[in-house]
Amino acid sequence: MTESDESIASQFETGTVVYDPASDKVGEYRGQAGPYALLRPLGGGREWEARPESLRTATPGERLGAAVRAANSRSFPGASEAHSPAPVRDCAACADLAALRDDARARHDGSAETDADVLLRRHQRRYHAPLLGLREYALVPDVSAGAEYETSCTECRAGSGARQRPADVEEWQQGHTRETGHARYRRTVADYAVLAAR
């Protein structure tokens, strides 16, 4: 064993959870491979080699984040891949967004992976909807249902319930004020809409 190998072995015990800044990953120290430290993702997975001089013991937050990712991977194996949109063939924009997603997935960055998926879906709805059989939708007022008016007293929380006309709500307010002396109300107007295919 060379002097450098001995320094790696003495720096970390097998099983120590360390942070590798070169890959921005947290892993478990498994031993040495020549001049490199051999690391394995928490919960198992493909090992990787890292320069031992750049490693440090992982912080509690880094350990927790890695443990949560490992638990999620065990609970939902392949879940993110199963729900990710596939890039459209020969589309450079699709390929770029899929590459961003794959890079985030490799780094175990779930937030960036989700962002890339959202952008890819948005791009596909805008430019590839007919090709992918995606339907465009628009929110339109539901003409079969009228608006509803409602009020509630801010002092005692009594409410009028939904009414069809503003005048009905005002009549309820006047009656409530006469009975209680309360004079401050919160008013709401609600209407109905449907998501219709374009």
**So what's the pLDDT on residue 198?**
56
At residue 56's C-alpha, the angle toward residues 16 and 25, to 5°, is: 80
Which of 56, 74, 92 is at the close of a domain? Answer: 74
- 171 belongs to a structural domain: yes
- 141 belongs to a structural domain: no
**So what's the pLDDT on residue 10?**
57
> Among the listed ranges 51-65, 86-100, 113-127, which one has the minimum average pLDDT value?
113-127
Number of structural domains the chain divides into: 3
Average pLDDT over the chain reads 81
Which of 74, 99, 115 is at the close of a domain? Answer: 74
* Residue 77 pLDDT class (50, 70, 90 cuts): very low
Compute the average pLDDT of residues 155-162.
91
Among residues 191, 194, 174, which one has the least CA distance to residue 183? 174
Identify whether residues 106 and 156 lie together within a single domain: no
Could you list the residue range(s) of the whole structural domain that residue 21 is in?
Answer: 3-74
**So what's the pLDDT on residue 57?**
93
Joined tokens for residue 192: 């109905």
Residue 155 CB neighbours (<10 A)? 13
Cα–Cα distance between 106 and 100 in angstroms, integer?
10
Identify whether residues 87 and 127 lie together within a single domain: yes
Pairing of strands 17-20, 56-57: antiparallel
* Residue 167 pLDDT class (50, 70, 90 cuts): very high
- 119 belongs to a structural domain: yes
Joined tokens for residue 104: 């985030």
Identify whether residues 8 and 68 lie together within a single domain: yes
Q: Which amino acid is at 123?
A: H
- 161 belongs to a structural domain: yes
Which of 108, 132, 156 is at the close of a domain? Answer: 132
**So what's the pLDDT on residue 160?**
92
**So what's the pLDDT on residue 134?**
58
> CATH number, domain at 33?
2.30.30
Identify whether residues 16 and 70 lie together within a single domain: yes
What is the pTM (predicted TM-score) of this model? Answer: 0.37
